[in-house]
Structure 1
Amino acid sequence: MTETDQSLRGTWLFDPTHTRLGFSARHAMVTRVRGSFNDFDGRIEVAPASAESGLDAHVEVRVRTASVDTRNADRDAHLRSEDFFDAERFPEMVFRSTTIDEVGENAYLAVGELTIKGIAKQVGVPIELTGVQRDPMGNLRAGFEGTRRVDRRDWGLEWQMPLDAGGVLVSEKITLELEISAVKQEDDAASDGGQPADGETAGEEPTGV
């Protein structure tokens, strides 16, 4: 097991102030609209593993659908409606991994169930480990990035409007965009500097960062 593999062992929590869980879609066949979710939590568990068993890890991400943000209030309200996420009936979408395989240097494939509007479908998400560093507050951070193209209709997100000149208003293929900063949960002995001061949360940085 490499030094990086050793440092990944343990529990990691997503830092929402430095993480983006987003998506992009084509609009009117000519431009791209991007959005993200502002309310979510994620957890990564990496257990000790032998060379024979490989990486023993699990990821769970829970996203509040009402927090969708595309920088347009009318569009966001439509996305929360029954036409799309139906946020009142289905307040969360969840991804739970079943396997995480190391497929290259700092490259992983997380396979699991993505549940949206009560519909669970298996997806595989390629993930790149972009680095592991200790920040100025003493927190050990790991960065991950990944993208995956999916068909929104697989999860009942079927609203559409045809265009007069052909094509559709909103693309059916959506690109998931993940930029994750995860903070390792360490005890006092592991990192005295990683303990939050009064009024701070784990992973919080000085004002202005």
Structure 2
Amino acid sequence: MSLRWPGRCLLPLLLALAPAWAGVPHPTTLPPVRADGPRVLLLDTQHSRIGFEVRTRFGQRIEGVFPQFEGRIEVLSDGRHQVHLKMFTRSVEIPGKARYTGWMRGEEFFDAGRHPMVEFDSLPYWPDTVAEGGDIEGRLTLRGVSHPESLRVEKAQCARPGYDCDVVSRGTVQRGRYGMDSWQLALSDRVTFVLRARLSEAPKP
């Protein structure tokens, strides 16, 4: 998703929102779903994919994945949507590269031992952002540090995005803002998160 977080880029299935960082809580886990709360759409973890990319100073692209993640969209009473997403860092991997996988899970990058989750909570947004594409605002928590970030969702390629086609979004964060400031001479400061999201079938009203 040519998303942008700090630099105006970042994550998918998370759609365009209203401004106002002040009221955004620092997420520690997905907020509980109340029986009398908003209608909930769940991310289909079997058919969705969350990955990330980091480039070296020599132009090489290192691609990783989060095999374990959870997500949901709350449909609010006014019709807007709100996304809650968490990714588990202890399972993060660079496919086929055990050494890089160990480094990504270690203290110099995601620090999975102390910070087992990366989380994103969006501000409320109107659902046509998914169909038309656009930016979303929210708060990212990474390594215990939270910052407001902007996401970009790509224009949908089908009439029912999330069901008949992926909802695709991308976002680039500056890793130094989250304490991931090692290897500055070897790696770019930018980490791009990529989400290709599908939803579980919508519940009956």
TM-score between both structures, scaled by the size of structure 1: 0.70
The one of 177, 182, 205 equivalent to 2:194 is 177
Give, as a single letter, the amino acid of the residue that structure 1 aligns with 2:113. Answer: E
Secondary structure (helix, strand or coil) at the match of 2:186 reads: coil
Residue in 2 that maps onto 1:120: 146
CA shift digits 1:141-175 (9 cap, x unpaired): 663111122211111111115xxxxxx31111122
Q: Secondary structure at the match of 1:120?
A: strand
User: Hey, what's the Cα distance between the residues in 1 that align with 2:100 and 2:194?
Assistant: 19
Q: Match of 1:3?
A: none
2:187 partner amino acid: V
Measure how far apart 1:108 and its partner are: 3.6
CA contact (8 A) 1:130 1:145 kept: no
Equivalent residue in structure 1 for 2:85, among 33, 38, 61: 61
- Provide the residue aligned with 1:22 in structure 2: 51
Letter in 2 for 1:179: R
> In 1, distance between residues paired with 2:192 and 2:182?
17
How many residue pairs align between the two structures?
165
User: 1:30 offset after TM fit, Å?
Assistant: 2.2
Give the structure 1 partner of residue 177 of structure 2. Answer: 154
Would the aligned equivalents of 1:152 and 1:172 in 2 still touch at CA under 8 Å? yes
Q: Distance in 1 between matches of 2:157 and 2:45?
A: 17
Residues of 1 paired with 2:187 and 2:44: CA distance? Answer: 31
Query: Contact (CA 8 Å) 1:25, 1:32: kept in 2 or not?
Result: yes
Q: How does 1:91-110 map to 2 (within 5 A)?
A: 91-101=116-126, 106-110=132-136
- Cα distance in 2 between the residues matched to 1:155 and 1:180: 25
Q: Distance in 2 between matches of 1:12 and 1:63?
A: 17
Aligned residues: percent identity? 25
Instruction: Measure, in 1, the Cα distance between the counterparts of 2:72 and 2:130.
Output: 23
- Higher normalized contact order (CA 8 Å, seq sep 6+, divided by chain length): 2
What displacement does 1:46 show?
A: 2.1
Equivalent-residue separation in structure 2 for 1:74 and 1:37 (angstroms): 16
With the length of structure 2 as denominator, give the TM-score of the two structures: 0.71
* Structure 1 alignment gaps of length 5 or more: 1-8, 50-54, 162-167, 191-209
What is the rounded CA distance, in whole Å, between the counterparts of 1:35 and 1:104 in structure 2?
25
Q: CA RMSD in A?
A: 2.6
- Cα 1:109–1:99 change in 2 (3 A) is farther
- Taking structure 1 as reference, are residues 140 and 170 closer, same or farther at Cα in structure 2, changes over 3 Å only? closer
Based on CA coordinates, which of the two structures has the bigger radius of gyration?
1
Q: Which 10-residue stretch deviates more, 94-103 or 81-90?
A: 94-103
Q: Determine whether 1:131 maps to 2:158.
A: yes
- Give the aligned residue type for 1:21: I
Equivalent AA in structure 2 for residue 94 of structure 1: E
1:176 alignment partner AA: F
User: For residue 82 of structure 1, what is the aligned residue in structure 2?
Assistant: 107
Q: CA deviation at 1:185?
A: 3.7
> Which structure shows the higher strand fraction?
1
Query: What is the aligned partner in structure 2 of residue 33 from structure 1?
Result: 62
What residue in structure 2 maps to residue 143 of structure 1?
166
8 Å CA contact 1:11–1:184 kept in 2: the answer is no
**Correspondences of 1:181-192 after superposition (within 5 Å):** 181-187=198-204
Question: How many angstroms apart in 2 are the aligned matches of 1:108 and 1:47?
Answer: 20
